[in-house]
Structure 1
Amino acid sequence: MALSAPAASPPEPAGRKPLSGPEKVAALLLAMGKPLASRLLKHFDQEELRHVTRSIADLGVVPMPQLEDMIEDFAGQFAHGTGLMISANDAENLLSGILSPEEIAEIMSDVTGNSNESIWQRLSGVSENLFASYLVKEHPQTAALILSKVTPACAAKVMAQLPRDLRNELMRRMVGIALVMEPVMRILESTLQDDLLVNVSRNNRAVHNSRMADIINKMEREQMEDVLQSLAEVRPKAAETLRGLLFTFDDIIKLQPRARMILFDQVPTERVVLALKGTDPAFRDAILSTLSTRSRRMVEGELANAGPAAHRDVVKARRSIAELALEMSERGEIELNSADDDDDVV
Structure 2
Amino acid sequence: MSEEKKNVHLTKLQKAAILISALPEDISVQIFKKLKDFEVERIVKTILMLETPSKESVLEVLKEAYDNLKEASPVKIAPDHLKKILQKALPPEVLEKLLNQTFDEEEFKTIFKELEKLDPKMVANLIKNEHPQVIALILSQLKPSVAAEILQYIPKRVGVTNVQEEVIKRIASIEKINAQTLKIVANTLEEELLTIGAGAEETLSGIDIAAEIVNALPKEVQVELLEEVRKEDEILADNIEERMFKFEDILKLDNKAIIEILKNVDKNVLMMALKGAPQEILDKFLSNMSKRAAEMFLEDMEVLGPVKKSDVEKAQKKIIEEIKNLINKGVIEFGSGEEYV
Larger Rg: 1
TM-score w.r.t. length of structure 1: 0.32
TM superposition score normalised by structure 2 = 0.33
